[in-house]
A and B are shown apart, each in its own frame.
Chain A
Amino acid sequence: MTTLLRTDGITKSFGGVRALDDCTLEVEEGSITGLIGPNGSGKTTLFNVITGYAKADAGAVYLGDRRITNTSPDKVFHAGIGRTFQLTRIFPTLTVLENMLVPASSASRKAGGVRRKAMDQLEFVGIAGHHDQLAGTLSYGQRKLLELAYVLVADPAVILLDEPAGGVNPTLIGQIAERIAQLNAERQKTFLIVEHNMEFVMGLCARVAVLDAGSVVASGPPDIIRTDPRVLDAYLGVDVDA
Chain B
Amino acid sequence: MMDRETTGRFVLKIDDLTAGYGGGDVLRGVSLEVPTGGITCVVGPNGAGKSTLMRCVSGLLRPRIGSIALHGEPLAGKSPRDILRLGVVQVPQNHSLFRDMTVWENVELGGYILGEKKAIAKRIDAVFGLFPQIAQWRQQKAGSLSGGQQRLVEFARALMLEPTLLLLDEPSMGLAPKILKTVFDAVREMNAAGTTILLVEQNARAGLRLSSHGVVMENGQVRLSGTGREVLEHPEIGALYLGGAVREGLLVRLLVSHD
Contacts and interface: CB of A to CB of B under 8 A. Distances in A.
Contact of A226 (B45, B206, B237, B239): B239
B181 A240 contact: yes
Contacts, number: 70
A236 interface: yes
A115 interface: no
Judged by DSSP, the binding face of A is: helix
A232 B237 CA distance: 9
B218 to A, nearest CB: 10
Nearest to A231: B242
26 contacts: A38-B202, A39-B46, A166-B47, A169-B24, A196-B45, A198-B45, A198-B242, A201-B243, A226-B239, A226-B244, A235-B45, A235-B204, A235-B241, A236-B205, A236-B237, A236-B238, A237-B202, A237-B207, A238-B205, A238-B206, A239-B205, A240-B177, A240-B184, A240-B206, A241-B181, A241-B206
A227 interface: yes
A65 interface: no
B109 interface: no
Interface in A188-232: 196, 198-199, 201-202, 222-223, 225-227, 231-232
A202 B244 contact: yes
Interface residues of A, number: 24
Interface of B: 24, 45-47, 172, 174, 177, 180-181, 184, 201-207, 209, 237-239, 241-245
Interface centre among A38, A225, A235 (most CB of B within 10 A): A235
Interface of A: 38-40, 166, 169, 196, 198-199, 201-202, 222-223, 225-227, 231-232, 235-241
A240 to B, nearest CB: 4
B106 to A, nearest CB: 23
A237 B205 contact: yes
